[in-house]
Amino acid sequence: MLSRVANTLFWMIRYVERADNLARLIDVNQQLLLDSERLDSERLRGFWQPIILSTGDDEAFHSIYDEAGSAEVIRFLTDDPRNPNSIVSCIALARENARTVRDQLSDELWEELNSLYLFSRSAEANSLMASDPTRYYANIRRSAETFLGIASSTISRDEAWEFMDIGRHLERADKTTRFLDVTSYLPTGPEESDPGVFHWSAILRSCGALGAYRAVHRGHRGGITDKSVCDFLVFSREFPRAVRYCVERVDISLHRISGTPQGTFSNDAERECGRLLADLNFGSTKDAFGIGLHDYLDSIQKRVNSIGEAVFDAYVLMPERIQVAPVEPVPATSAVAAWQMQQQQQ
């Protein structure tokens, strides 16, 4: 398929996934604040600053806002047009990408994405943000999940689907590590306690993983702990938002596109993805905490980004590389004719 179309589908699905995950991230932090007591304005800022730091938008945020209060962070991540990674911006970018490849999408898929776009810019959305933000974020999540469900039901399992699947799972793996990494930025001090059950339960809820986690750990002693949650969200082979599961799905899609068998590689994207998958297959929570959870998650984020860049290099830049590659000089017609005559004479 055309590299332009592949790139557009890749980013369309990735922007929808990003909007969904941002809605989850804001919602889970609000739940954490409900479980916290005696928060003054200074400590309140300390609970919102980690959200900006974990998303990697700290520099962009502080270029616009002076303080990292709840109102500023929520505005920046939700509907600030100056933030290209806000929920509303991501939905608009997803729709624009979908518009350019309209013929590749089903009518139902386009209608759902268009409805989400119109809702995000409606008076109803503004009213919900002011009066019932939990319901607003629930609507964003439900529409994003419906969009992904329609895509799964109406898109043929060809190259277009594989590029969409790569975008979805790369974004999902990245955001799962960022959910877990919020812990690294939480305020510390003599009055602050270590993140406990409420915090790790909220992270599980943000990933829609609380029920699945309880099903796996039913009957286990120790309750919800940092190590058990990290083990589930990073190394699980079955849960669809776990990092290892997402990387494996990316690896499968990359090999289906190239036609090479798994365990081998034909480009840098397959090589980088295979290396990360091997490390996750043979890694453990003990290794992650031994390195330091923040450093470990940060390294995964960088490697996920490297895979995305390698996919772009392999499948989107390829036509440009072919054009600029040195071309062997073609002999003139007279030279070819002379050579053929010489061969015949010999």
Measure the CA–CA gap between 143 and 109, rounded to whole angstroms: 11
* Mean pLDDT, residues 147-165 taken together: 95
* Mean pLDDT, residues 157-171 taken together: 96
pLDDT band at 80 (very low <50, low <70, confident <90, very high): very high
Measure the CA–CA gap between 48 and 45, rounded to whole angstroms: 5
pLDDT at residue 195 is higher than 70? no
Contacts of 312 (CB under 8 A, 6+ apart): 7
Tell me what pLDDT residue 79 has: 92
b/e code 219-241 from CB counts within 10 Å (16+ = b):
eeeeebebebbbbbbbbbeebeb
Annotated domain spans of the chain:
1-154, 179-319
Question: What is residue 197's DSSP assignment?
Answer: H
The total of other beta-carbon atoms located within 10 Å of residue 345's CB is 6
- CA-nearest of 157, 78, 71 to 120 is 78
Measure the CA–CA gap between 209 and 242, rounded to whole angstroms: 9
Q: Are the beta carbons of 92 and 18 closer than 8 angstroms?
A: no
Q: Are the beta carbons of 13 and 151 closer than 8 angstroms?
A: yes
**What percentage of the chain carries pLDDT values higher than 90?**
64
b/e code 47-57 from CB counts within 10 Å (16+ = b):
bbbbbbbbbeb
Taking CA atoms, 289 is separated from 186, 189, 280, 299, in Å, by 17, 21, 14, 13
Measure the CA–CA gap between 27 and 134, rounded to whole angstroms: 7
* Mean pLDDT, residues 279-307 taken together: 96
Contacts of 205 (CB under 8 A, 6+ apart): 28, 31
Tell me what pLDDT residue 50 has: 78
* Mean pLDDT, residues 309-328 taken together: 67
Tell me what pLDDT residue 305 has: 96
* Mean pLDDT, residues 116-145 taken together: 94
The total of other beta-carbon atoms located within 10 Å of residue 242's CB is 24
Measure the CA–CA gap between 103 and 9, rounded to whole angstroms: 12
3-class SS of residue 264: coil
Quote the mean pLDDT of the chain. 86
Tell me what pLDDT residue 123 has: 95
pLDDT band at 218 (very low <50, low <70, confident <90, very high): confident
* Mean pLDDT, residues 331-338 taken together: 45
